[in-house]
């Protein structure tokens, strides 16, 4: 578990998109984001106070989060001095980069010397059990998608926000690196050993109060041949009571595999439900979340209405409309 | 890839069942099994010549395979002397035990000193790519089960035997530790990192001659909540043209998870086919393999006839009847 709050390191991010993870932290955990640290040439700005390491320490920051991605996911040479200095000044470091912090000898030695921790959130930091499938108390909702990167994390975080506003008993359960950096905890499921995937999801969503909801961040798609095994383990390990379908309407093929078209929402509904009912006979599909960022307001409205009418399920874009109508459906599950 | 042929080390196996892997090698790769090495107290006998290390070396053996399992999968103290001696005498060692050979400092040092290799077949010995789903040339058959341990490896090896007898162009593709030890090569799929499971199966079954068959050893079950993600990756990575359903008729619950009943063969057929058709629209279920070891001959005959009639697919127990009728179906796929 990462120590909060964070100083967000934006490095020399060449645009706002390169600081996507830091933006996610500002959007969903603003209380964790005390300031930003930018290097010369940085073109991203989160609207947070620019801080030196000293100022951030003064403001209470405990972890410097590498909130920027660059080509290849490597640790840029120009970042190293400030990373070392952060460790020397009592910060932990957390990163979702492909290259691990702990594999950099200078960072590893400095962290050891100053008693600070290096969190590579792509790497599981523990072993997980084999799944038992035993029924757990509490309720669970899982987002499943027609494809990768269609808004499953966003939808799940939007559900959490709405449910917290309603004072519901709820936890977001991160299963990917961005989700883990944003919320400070979770399981990097795509990096778990095959035999333990479903067990890791069970571990992440243990027995809980009868009125408690685990909101499980979905990954991949049952129809994405590269990652479908991970999605399968999420459904069987997650034991969901409710599924929410996620979709991006302008995508012409599955992400990264151009010869594969997208499945229909009906296909995703039917296959996900069939698989979920192996482990929870009462599982229901309760709503649909559509990422309409590529549509104008009129097109979006029309598209959402068409899907809602066709599927007979509340259909929203949580970015435009919030997740209230989806949460209304979750509230009906007792 | 393991060096063949093998000397089969049976240690102090307390019964024949403890020497199951060695038995598998004798059954399916008799040409790899030059002899057995037994310690005092061994109650297993494969009917092979008992050999000293010197005799086995003389007979051409290159690898000493630990063909015995004991409680906990550890390397027994009483085995260590002969294992060290084997390395000193120019043998590689291969093991599917839970405890790794390479983690034993004495074995690791001896192997390094004498230039011999330690093969822990539970551990992937390379990195695998992410699956692309690109259509590959050649044909592929995958066994899928109602449960774990219902005869998927046995069925796949029986298919291979029959197809070789018919001089068909065929390779068995091992995906588990026993299969790897028996055939000397493969991918220990349950130990692969989640993101690379389907890619590992693609790697294992690459482009091939148009008339070539990859016979892919199945793992787990789509209906076994602990391991279903692995099965999913096998189907999507394997891109099968043909599926063969495997079943054990007397099992009362899913292996290791007593609260889960078995799915019907119809359910396994429908779900497997739906998932396989995502990656290969022409995939067919061509037959059924039933492990009738717990039934007498009359019961077995009756059960097989009942299933064949109900499912409309050739249904055999390859142990009793061979796999010829299943291979007849594969021969129809062009």
Per-residue pLDDT in tens (0 to 9) along chain A, 334 residues: 999 999 999 999 989 988 999 999 999 999 999 999 999 999 999 999 999 999 999 999 999 999 888 777 788 888 999 999 999 999 999 999 888 999 999 999 999 999 999 999 999 989 999 999 999 999 999 999 999 999 999 999 999 999 999 999 999 999 999 999 999 999 999 999 999 999 999 999 999 999 999 999 999 999 999 999 999 999 999 999 999 999 999 999 999 999 999 999 999 999 999 999 999 999 999 999 999 999 999 999 999 999 999 999 999 999 999 999 999 999 999 8
Q: Say yes or no for a CB contact (<8 Å) between B195 and A199.
A: no
Tokens 């912090």 identify what position? A101
Q: Which residues are registered as beta bridge partners of A213?
A: A139, A170
User: What's the ipTM?
Assistant: 0.95
Of A199, A229, A260, the CB nearest to B230: A229
At CA B180, angle to CA B178 and CA B186, rounded to 5?
Answer: 140
B149 phi-psi bin (left φ>0, alpha ψ -120 to 50, beta other): left
**Residue of B132, B134, B193 lying closest to A193 (CB–CB):** B193
pLDDT at B132 (0 to 100): 97
Measured CA to CA, the distance from residue B107 to residue A194 in angstroms comes to 28
pLDDT of residue A323: 98
pLDDT of res. A276: 98
Question: Quick one: closest CA in A to B267, which residue?
Answer: A274
Quick check: B229 and A226 CB within 8 A?
Answer: no
Q: DSSP states of B190-229 as a string?
A: GGSBGGGHHHHHHHHS-S--TT-EEEEPP-S-TT-TTTHH
Q: Is the pLDDT at B70 greater than 80, yes or no?
A: no
Q: Do A259 and B230 touch (CB under 8 A)?
A: no
277-306 of B, contacting A, C-beta below 8 A: 278-279
Q: What pLDDT sits at residue B5?
A: 97
Distance from CA of B92 to the nearest CA of A (A): 27
* CA distance readout (Å), B194 to A193, A249, B128, B145, B235: 6, 28, 11, 21, 15
Tell me whether residues A191 and B193 touch, CB distance under 8 A.
Answer: yes
Residues 143-202 of A with CB under 8 A from B: 189-195, 197-199
CA distances from A271 to A219, B59, B85, B256, B271 (A): 16, 55, 55, 25, 8
Number of residues written out for chain B: 334
Q: How confident is the model at residue B76 (pLDDT cuts 50, 70, 90)?
A: confident
Closest A-chain CA to B131: A226
Element holding A286 (H helix, E strand)? strand A284-290
In the numeric block, which tokens belong to residue A221?
């798609």
Q: Is there a contact between B195 and A190 if contact means CB atoms under 8 Å apart?
A: yes
**Pick from B228, B278, B279: CB nearest A232:** B228
Contact residues, chain A, for B189 at CB < 8 Å: 194
- Nearest CB neighbour to A195, from listed B190, B195, B198: B190
pLDDT confidence tier of residue B72, bands split at 50, 70 and 90: confident
Cβ separation A194–B198 shorter than 8 A:
no
For A74-88, B67-81, B135-149, which range has the lowest pLDDT when averaged over its residues?
B67-81
What residue ranges in chain B does DSSP mark as E strands? Answer: 6-11, 33-38, 63-66, 92-95, 118-120, 139-145, 170-173, 213-216, 242-247, 284-290, 315-316
Residues 6+ apart with CB under 8 A from B93: B63, B64, B65, B66, B83, B86, B87, B101, B107, B111, B116, B117, B118, B119
Q: pLDDT > 90: what percent of chain B?
A: 93
Q: For residues B260-266, give the mean pLDDT.
A: 98
User: How near does any CA of chain A get to the CA of B85, in Å?
Assistant: 34
Task: Measure B195 CA to nearest chain A CA, in Å.
Answer: 5
Q: Which residue has the higher pLDDT, B265 or B70?
A: B265
Chain A neighbors of B223, CB-CB under 8 A: 278
Tokens describing residue A266: 């009906």
What's the pLDDT tens digit per position in A143-181? 999 999 999 999 999 999 999 999 999 999 999 999 999
Q: Where are the alpha helices (DSSP H) in chain A?
A: 20-28, 53-58, 77-88, 105-114, 152-165, 177-183, 197-204, 228-238, 265-279, 297-311, 318-321, 324-331
Q: Do B194 and A199 touch (CB under 8 A)?
A: no
Residue A193 per-residue DSSP state: B
What pLDDT does residue B94 have? 97
- Answer whether A275 sits within 8 Å of B271, measured CB to CB: yes
pLDDT in tens, B185-209: 999 999 999 999 999 999 999 999 9
| A vs B: CB pairs below 8 A | 120
Quote the mean pLDDT of chain B. Answer: 96
In chain B, % of residues over pLDDT 70 = 100
């Amino acid at each position: 578990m990462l120590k909060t709050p964070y100083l967000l390191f934006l490095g020399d991010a060449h645009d706002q998109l390169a600081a996507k993870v830091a933006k996610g932290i500002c959007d969903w955990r603003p209380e964790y984001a005390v300031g930003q640290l930018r290097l010369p040439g940085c073109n991203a700005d989160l609207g947070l106070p620019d801080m030196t390491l000293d100022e951030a320490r003064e403001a209470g920051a405990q972890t410097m989060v590498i909130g920027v991605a660059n080509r290849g996911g490597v640790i840029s040479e120009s970042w190293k001095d400030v990373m070392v200095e952060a460790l020397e000044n009592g910060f932990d470091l957390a990163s979702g980069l492909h290259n691990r912090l702990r594999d950099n000898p200078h960072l590893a030695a400095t962290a050891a010397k100053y008693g600070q921790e290096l969190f590579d959130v792509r790497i599981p930091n523990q072993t997980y059990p084999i799944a038992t499938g035993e029924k757990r108390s509490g309720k669970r909702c899982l987002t499943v998608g027609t494809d990768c990167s269609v808004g499953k994390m966003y939808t799940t975080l939007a559900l959490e926000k709405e449910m917290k506003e309603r004072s519901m008993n709820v936890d977001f359960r991160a299963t990917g690196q961005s989700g883990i950096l944003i919320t400070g905890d979770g399981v990097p499921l795509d990096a778990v050993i095959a035999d333990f995937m479903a067990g890791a999801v069970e571990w992440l969503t243990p027995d809980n109060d009868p009125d408690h909801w685990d909101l499980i961040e979905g990954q991949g798609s049952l129809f994405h041949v590269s990652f479908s095994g991970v999605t399968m383990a999420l459904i069987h390990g997650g034991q969901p009571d409710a599924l929410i379908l996620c979709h991006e309407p302008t995508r012409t093929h599955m992400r990264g595999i151009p010869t594969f078209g997208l499945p229909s929402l009906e296909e995703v509904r039917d296959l996900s439900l069939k698989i979920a009912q192996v482990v929870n006979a009462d599982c229901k599909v309760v709503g649909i979340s559509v990422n309409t960022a590529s549509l104008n307001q009129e097109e979006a409205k029309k598209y959402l209405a068409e899907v809602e009418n066709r599927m007979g399920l509340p259909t929203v874009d949580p970015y435009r409309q919030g997740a209230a109508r989806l949460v209304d459906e979750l509230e009906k599950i007792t």
